[in-house]
């Protein structure tokens, strides 16, 4: 019998890359002319998996969001890592945006991914295992076709492929 190959689809993120991106944001914002003399804050709460941005106005908050997304992309992370929870007024006439750090695939989305894989009519088996999806198949070409289809899809979670065997 032919050897079976497999890989996992997960949404894990490298926290060190996230921290590096936040440090780069701090460094850039402190040197930018449009932020001189204004109040701003970039606060990563690692245990709660939350990022809080505080700025003096909506325009500054939008600029801060753009900088964060640019630095995430430079560190090799998807912009889907951040899910905006709320934007609200904060103390001292500032605006505060709270983002949830997404590092998992929701069950509804995992079911949709496995259903889409099964619709491809390839000889592969996709099953949900905890917070990941294991895809198994005899042919590497079939697994690569599945990877291509998943990459091209529009998903909520920042999907990553690992454990290719």
User: Beta partners for 74?
Assistant: none
95 in the same domain as 19: yes
How far, in Å, are 56, 98, 154 from residue 36 at the CA level? 11, 23, 38
Domain that includes residue 154, residue range = 5-12+104-162
Question: Domain containing 45 — which CATH number?
Answer: 3.30.70.990
Kindly list the strands in the beta sheet with 160-162, ordered across the sheet, starting from the edge strand earlier in the chain. 124-129, 132-137, 5-10, 160-162
122 in the same domain as 90: no
Report pLDDT for 2. 54
29 in the same domain as 92: yes
128 in the same domain as 73: no
Domain count along the chain: 2
Report pLDDT for 130. 78
108 in the same domain as 97: no
Per-residue exposure over 38-69, b if at least 16 CB sit within 10 Å of its own CB, e if not: eebebebeeeebebbbbbbeeebbebbbebbb
pLDDT along the chain (165 residues), means of 10: 74 84 87 82 85 85 88 83 79 82 81 82 80 82 81 76 73
Residue 163: Cβ-neighbour burial (10 angstroms; 0-12, 13-18, 19+):
exposed
Report pLDDT for 83. 80
At which of 71, 101, 131 does a domain end?
A: 101
Report pLDDT for 1. 41
133 in the same domain as 69: no
What is the Rg, in whole angstroms, of the alpha carbon atoms belonging to the chain?
A: 20
pTM of full prediction above 0.85? no
157 in the same domain as 140: yes
Please state, as a whole number, how many other Cβ atoms lie within 10 Å of the Cβ of residue 8.
17
């Amino acid at each position: 019998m032919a050897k079976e190959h497999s890989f996992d689809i997960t949404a894990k993120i490298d926290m060190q890359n996230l921290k590096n991106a936040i440090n780069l944001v701090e460094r850039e914002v402190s040197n930018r002319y449009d932020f001189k003399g204004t109040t701003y804050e970039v606060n990563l709460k690692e245990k709660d998996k939350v990022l809080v941005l505080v700025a003096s106005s909506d325009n500054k908050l939008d600029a801060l969001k753009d900088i964060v997304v640019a630095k995430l992309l430079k560190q090799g992370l998807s912009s889907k890592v951040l899910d905006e929870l709320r934007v609200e007024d904060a103390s001292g006439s500032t605006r505060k945006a709270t983002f949830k750090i997404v590092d998992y695939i929701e069950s509804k989305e995992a079911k949709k991914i496995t259903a889409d894989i099964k619709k491809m009519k390839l000889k592969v088996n996709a099953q949900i295992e905890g917070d990941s999806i294991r895809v198994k198949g005899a042919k590497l070409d079939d697994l690569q076709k599945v990877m291509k289809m998943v990459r091209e899809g529009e998903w909520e979670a920042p999907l990553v492929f690992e454990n290719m065997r």
